[in-house]
């Protein structure tokens, strides 16, 4: 009787163990399929527009190393696994953070820095989301599309700066700007009444005595 109970207990433990292992295996298969779908979705939508959209952007590839490095990294699409995308996202964040450090002088303007800040924020967001345990593929894909839009706006801003620089100034405009700059440079000491020197005529009027009475004589009463 005791042997029979032990046998039944052993069989029950074995069945429970097998069921638990099958459950874990099923969960692993489900998780693997989910990761594969995430990888396929991100791989399908990971397309950055890295071709220069205007002559200014193309020119800066040769003279702005940080801009050239960012475009090169964006053009190299990961292929093997989601881990490859995670590594690429980290590199893109590093390249974006380097953009503000060596902006060419002609383009080192507030509007350009603002564009870079927005672009950097979106690239950093991709780096954040793609390294989560449960990767939100839809958010990553949306950020890729947003970055492409920001890249177009950024390049258009660079081209606009060149366009405004190339517009010739009207005749006399440069001299007027120079005169205004000179006027601004002269400190305004303010008006002080004591600094005003009276004229000679005013001094003579002050020195001339006022005649008393009629015809210069004493005042007389009429009879």
Provide the pLDDT for residue 146.
97
Q: Is the pTM of this model over 0.75?
A: no
Contact 113, 96 (CB under 8 A): no
Residue 78 phi, psi (nearest 5): -65, 155
Q: Which residues of the chain have pLDDT under 50?
A: 191, 196, 201-202, 204, 214-223
Question: In the chain, where are the structural domains located?
Answer: 17-165
pLDDT of the residue at 166: 83
As a three-state string, the secondary structure of the chain is CHHHHHHHHHHHHHHHHHHHHHHHHHHHHHHHHHHHHHHHHHHHHCCCCCCCCCHHHHHHHHHCHHHHHHHHHHHCCCCCCHHHHHHHHHHHHHHHHHHHHHCCHHHCCHHHHHHHHHHHHHHHHHHHHCCCCCCCHHHHHHHHHHHHHHHHHHHHHHHHHHHHHHCCCCCCHHHHHHHHHHHHHCCCCCCCHHHCCCCHHHHHHHHCCCCCCHHHCCCCCCC
pLDDT digits (tens, 9 = 90+) for 99-155: 998 899 999 999 999 999 999 999 999 999 999 999 999 999 999 999 999 999 999
């Amino acid at each position: 009787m005791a042997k029979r109970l032990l046998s039944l207990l052993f069989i029950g433990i074995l069945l429970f163990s097998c069921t638990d292992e099958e459950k874990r295996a099923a969960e692993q298969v489900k998780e693997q399929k989910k990761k594969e779908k995430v990888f396929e979705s991100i791989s399908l939508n990971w397309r950055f527009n890295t071709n220069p959209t205007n002559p200014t952007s193309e020119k800066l590839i040769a003279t702005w190393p940080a801009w050239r490095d960012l475009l090169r990294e964006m053009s190299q699409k990961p292929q093997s696994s989601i881990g490859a995308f995670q590594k690429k996202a980290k590199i893109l964040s590093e390249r974006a953070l380097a953009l503000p450090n060596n902006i060419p002088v002609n383009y080192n303007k507030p509007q350009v820095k603002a564009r870079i800040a927005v672009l950097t924020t979106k690239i950093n967001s991709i780096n954040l989301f793609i390294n989560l345990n449960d990767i939100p593929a839809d958010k990553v894909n949306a950020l890729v599309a947003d970055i492409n839009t920001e890249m177009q706006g950024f390049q258009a801003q660079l081209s606009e700066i060149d366009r405004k620089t190339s517009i010739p100034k009207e005749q006399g405009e440069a001299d007027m700007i120079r005169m205004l700059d000179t006027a601004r440079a002269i400190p305004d000491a303010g008006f002080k009444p004591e600094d005003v020197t009276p004229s000679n005529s005013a001094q003579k009027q002050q020195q001339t005595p006022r005649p008393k009475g009629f015809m210069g004589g004493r005042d007389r009463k009429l009879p």
